[in-house]
Amino acid sequence: MTPAADGQPVQMQVLYWGLGLTVAIVTALWKAAVMRGDLNHKWNPRVNLLEGDLTHKAIGELSILRRKIDELIGGGSLDPTSDIVDPAELLKSVRMFDRLISARRRARRRFDLLLKLGNLIVLCLLFLLVGTIAGATHLSGLADLARWVAFIWGVFALGLGCGVVMFFLYWYLQHKLSDAEILARPEKADG
């Protein structure tokens, strides 16, 4: 065994690092295992409220649109000049209505995907855990896993890469749900 700068053999330091990483991964596994319940507790009432608020706001936007249409075409009277009215001023209300309905429809799907994410994160962490334990065991010399080195590092890399993707997906879904909440907020009246 080769001594390191602090007098401990390098193989033992590899085991210490492997043990530290293993403890961190097991802790993350525990957090990921309860993630579904935590997310459900945190987001389910918010998504239910969000859907109601977006629906209410969309209905309000339809009322505004109807009022604008009535103003443009004269509220039901047959005016020959109504055929040449420019509908461009209606576009803002139509776009807002579409945005509200799209946000409402996507909110539930994003919430459901967020709940499923916990299971995928557990799988990623399991790959990372197996790769860490096997890699530390091999590098420390406790087991000769020379034939399995490529597999070990592949499993470790798969767990790490999958974990990074899951982190960004988690962030993206939370961000989009928060954006929908902001969109659903009632507009402040001027005054």
Mean pLDDT of 28-33: 90
Tell if the pTM clears 0.95, that is, is over it: no
Q: Residue 191 — very low, low, confident or very high, per pLDDT cuts 50/70/90?
A: very low
pLDDT in tens, 62-110: 998 898 888 777 655 555 555 555 677 788 888 999 999 999 999 999 9
Kindly state the DSSP code that residue 143 receives in the 8-state scheme.
Answer: S
Write the DSSP symbol of residue 128.
H
Nearest CA-CA partner of 163 in 129, 134, 138:
129
Residue 75: CB partners within 8 Å, gap ≥ 6? none
The tokens for 71 are: 């103003």
Handedness of CA 97, 103, 105, 108 (dihedral sign): negative
Q: Say how far apart CA 38 and CA 150 lie, in whole Å.
A: 37
- Residues in contact with 189: Cβ distance below 8 Å, sequence separation at least 6, in sequence order: none
- When pLDDT is averaged across residues 51-56 and rounded to a whole number, the result is 94
Tokens at residue 52, please? 């109601």
Tokens of 121: 């994160």
Band the pLDDT of 118: cuts 50, 70, 90.
confident
What are the distances in angstroms from CA 105 to CA 50, 58, 101, 112, 186? 11, 12, 6, 12, 19
